[in-house]
Amino acid sequence: MNRQILVVEDEAPIREMITFVLEQNGFNAIEAETIEQAQAKIKEPYPDLILLDWMLPGGTGVKLAKSLKQNEYTRSIPIIMLTARADEDDKVKGFDAGIDDYVTKPFSPKELIARIKAVIRRVAPTALEEAIEFHGIKLDPVAHRVSINDENLDLGPTEFRLLHFFLTHTERVYSREQLLDNVWGTNVYVEDRTVDVHIRRLRKAISGQGHEDFIQTVRGSGYRFSGKIKDRV
Amino acid sequence: MNRQILVVEDEAPIREMITFVLEQNGFNAIEAETIEQAQAKIKEPYPDLILLDWMLPGGTGVKLAKSLKQNEYTRSIPIIMLTARADEDDKVKGFDAGIDDYVTKPFSPKELIARIKAVIRRVAPTALEEAIEFHGIKLDPVAHRVSINDENLDLGPTEFRLLHFFLTHTERVYSREQLLDNVWGTNVYVEDRTVDVHIRRLRKAISGQGHEDFIQTVRGSGYRFSGKIKDRV
DNA sequence: TATTACTGTCATGAAACTGTCACAAAAAGT
DNA sequence: ACTTTTTGTGACAGTTTCATGACAGTAATA
């Protein structure tokens, strides 16, 4: 699952260039021209990082940064500010808003990629590198290994990613589409119902002894991964 | 409640193909060949989304997009542009006019549908995500869970929406029609009395031990969700 | 190249959910 | 007390949604 990076930049050539560089380096770029567009595109598949231009029509990037940092769900998304001036004041303003790093235009692709990787490494080791444990289920992203009650089990790639996603997003219903976006990738065209099949495969794999079904079907809405006992009737 | 999609495309074969694909996927297609036709057909039942061809007789699609975005009532209708060229200039012009997304011809049906769904998902905000508590009733829209006095209970989709509506609109009488509008959706043809049945189902579900009947019947007017002891009339 | 693993899609049957009805019960009106 | 209007309820059939097994195409591996 490639990292999603949201590029907020109003000047088309620069935006295109950045997107190109990102995709050459294995990232997944989402483009936004304005603050409004950015806000719209942030939802659903939350990006792993945001590249935010300093000067934007309709308000400075700092504005957007601040509002993101105030939202529980977007607060943890790292932000790298793109600025044309290495102005000291701007930096201060940016850091107030919780900016994670700066890249001053013009910049080399190498520099950009290096900064991005540095920030991701710094910010998201927990999110993507660290082993997760949940009610006896252990998942180690590095070793790519899963166990339930210390009993190893092997999953196919998709089931692994699906479980990983669920383990990091428990107690919340996700529609089939949201799961597709998050587990399969944003612009993959796959049938909704395919999710069902993979849910089934995952269920089968983790349905060892008596323990509850962690994956709960919420009819008409999607699926939920939960440690709580299934709703009583 | 099918989505209405207006297809503005002058070439009949393409238009018909699109319509076909849309209807296969549960959308409701309205066809228009020219900008004038489109403008005429937009009124009344405002479409939920517009598929707009780039090259149209009598002006480019951007023209139409711009005029739509200037009208208070049509401004919020998302637009997906169909373009034969992945031309940079076109894209920029389109975004100026507030285009929500692009699909470059030729496109696969899957891609088209995926884009449409993505845009609709992005535009239609996912209600309030905040959990509600009212006299021991907890409803969590995110987890899609309901509990009374910490005891989980299972509701069907309609009962869930109905309860959600009531919890966000307590102490106030709603007619059956108002409930239909708010819970079922605006242009749904359903008998008034159907509300009664769902009220009954919801009552049954939340009628645990002794606690009052939260849903009160107001004879001749409708229903009220209230935490107060039922008024003697 | 042969074999194996993995994916996405489909067909099918089961289960859940919905909207309506018909009739009972309750309230309001005469 | 009797009639009329409105609401409560149980039943039911049609529809929608979901679980599941099968299958064929593709990618990975030996």
User: From the C1' of C5, which residue's alpha carbon is nearest?
Assistant: A156
Domain range annotation of chain A: 4-127, 130-225
| CATH number assigned to the domain with residue range B4-123, chosen from the 4 options 3.40.50.970, 3.90.15.10, 3.40.50.1820, 3.40.50.2300 | 3.40.50.2300
* pLDDT class of A232 with cuts at 50, 70, 90: very low
Q: Does A12 sit within 8 Å of B108, measured CB to CB?
A: no
Round to whole Å and give the CA distance between B60 and B52. 10
Q: Among B143, B151, B157, whose Cβ lies nearest the Cβ of A219?
A: B157
User: Are A155 and A149 contacting, i.e. CB atoms less than 8 angstroms apart?
Assistant: no
Element (H, E) at A139: strand A137-140
CA distance A213 to A147: 16
Residue A122 CA to residue A144 CA, distance in Å, equals 21
- Please give the distance of CA B172 from its chain centroid, rounded to a whole number: 24
| B3/C10 CA-to-C1' distance in Å | 26
pLDDT-derived band at A231, boundaries 50, 70, 90 = very low
Which segments of chain B does DSSP mark as H helices, in order? 12-24, 35-42, 61-70, 88-96, 109-123, 157-168, 176-179, 192-206
Question: What are the residue ranges of helices labelled H in B176-227?
Answer: 176-179, 192-206
CATH class of domain segment(s) A130-225: mainly alpha
Q: From the CB of residue B171, how many other CB atoms can be counted at a distance below 10 Å?
A: 10
CB atoms inside a 10 Å sphere around CB A110? 10
Confidence of residue A210 (pLDDT cuts 50, 70, 90): low
Burial B121-139 (b: 16+ CB within 10 A, else e): bbeeeeeeeeebebeebbb
B54 Cβ partners below 8 Å, 6+ apart? Answer: B60, B61, B62, B81, B82, B83, B84, B85, B90, B94
ipTM above 0.85, yes or no: no
pLDDT at residue A164 above 50?
Answer: yes
Q: Which of B64, B88, B59, B60 is nearest to B77 (CA)?
A: B64
Amino acid at A160: F
Burial of A186 (0-12, 13-18, 19+ CB in 10 A): middle
Rounded to whole angstroms, the Cα distance separating A128 from A103 reads: 24
Instruction: Judge whether residue A193 contacts strand D, using its CB and a 7 Å cut-off.
Output: yes
Q: Is the pLDDT of residue A26 over 80?
A: no
Facing B114 at nearest CB: one of A44, A173, A189: A189
Please report the pLDDT score of residue B200 as a whole number.
Answer: 95
In one-letter notation, the amino acid at residue B173 is V
CATH for B132-225 (1.10.1740.10, 3.50.50.60, 3.40.50.1240, 1.10.10.10):
1.10.10.10
Question: What is the CA A209 to C1' C4 distance in angstroms?
Answer: 28
pLDDT tens track for A33-91: 888 778 777 765 678 888 888 777 666 777 777 777 666 566 678 888 787 654 444 54
In chain A, residues with a C-beta closer than 8 Å to the C-beta of B183 are none
Domain A4-127: CATH class, spelled out: alpha beta
| Cα–Cα dist A31/A33, whole Å | 7
Q: Are A102 and A79 in contact (CB under 8 A)?
A: no
Quick one: pLDDT at residue B225?
92
Predicted confidence (pLDDT) at residue A208 exceeds the cutoff of 80: no
Does residue A181 approach strand C to less than 7 Å at its CB? no
The nearest alpha carbon in chain B to A13 belongs to B88
pLDDT at res. B139 = 93
Q: Give the pLDDT band (50/70/90) at residue A150.
A: confident
Distance A197 CA to D19 C1' (A): 9
Q: Is B101 exposed, middle or buried (0-12, 13-18, 19+ CB in 10 A)?
A: middle
State whether B88 and A173 contact (CB < 8 Å): no
Is residue A168 pLDDT above 90, yes or no? no
| Option in B123, B144, B153 nearest A173 (CB) | B144
Give A2's pLDDT tier (boundaries 50, 70, 90): low
**CATH topology agreement for domains A4-127 and A130-225:** no
Long-range contacts of A17-23 (CB under 8 A, 24+ apart): A18/A51, A18/A112, A21/A109, A21/A112, A21/A113, A22/A113, A22/A116
> What is the spatial distance, in angstroms and rounded to an integer, between the CA atom of B223 and the C1' atom of D6?
13
Q: Which nucleotide is nearest to A213 (CA to C1')?
A: D19
- pLDDT computed for residue A225 by the predictor: 93
Query: Rounded to an integer, what distance in angstroms lies between the CA atom of residue B78 and that of residue B36?
Result: 19
Name the average pLDDT for chain A: 76
Partner-chain contact A228 B152, CB within 8 Å: yes
The answer to whether some atom of strand C lies closer than 7 Å to the beta carbon of A191 is yes
Backbone angles phi, psi at B158, to 5 degrees: -65, -45
Tokens of A86: 């290495």
Strand partners, A29: A5
B219 touches strand C (CB under 7 A): yes
When pLDDT is cut at 50, 70 and 90, the band that residue A219 belongs to is very high
Q: Where are the alpha helices (DSSP H) in A71-156?
A: 88-96, 109-123
Q: Under an 8 Å CB criterion, which residues of A touch B?
A: 12, 16, 33, 40-41, 43-44, 171-173, 177, 187, 189, 218-221, 224, 226, 228-229, 231-233
User: d(Cα A40, Cα B100) in Å, to the nearest integer?
Assistant: 10
Nearest residue of A to residue B87, measured between CA atoms: A12
Please, which pLDDT band fits residue A233 given cuts at 50, 70 and 90? Answer: very low
pLDDT tens over chain B, length 233 residues? 457 789 998 888 888 888 877 876 667 788 888 888 888 888 756 788 899 887 777 777 777 887 787 776 777 788 888 876 555 555 555 555 567 777 777 676 777 877 787 677 666 544 446 788 898 899 998 899 999 888 888 899 999 999 999 998 888 899 999 899 889 876 778 899 999 999 999 999 987 655 568 899 999 889 999 877 644 33
> What average pLDDT does this structure show over A90-119?
64
Give the chain B residue nearest A225 (alpha carbons).
B143
User: CA neighbours within 13 Å on the CB side: how many for B49?
Assistant: 27
Task: Write the burial class of residue B181 (CB in 10 Å: 0-12 exposed, 13-18 middle, 19+ buried).
Answer: middle
- Inform me whether the pLDDT recorded for A124 exceeds 50: yes
CB B49 within 8 A of CB B79: yes
Q: Which residue in the block uniquely carries the two structure tokens 């997009």?
A: B65
Residue A107 has pLDDT above 70, yes or no: no
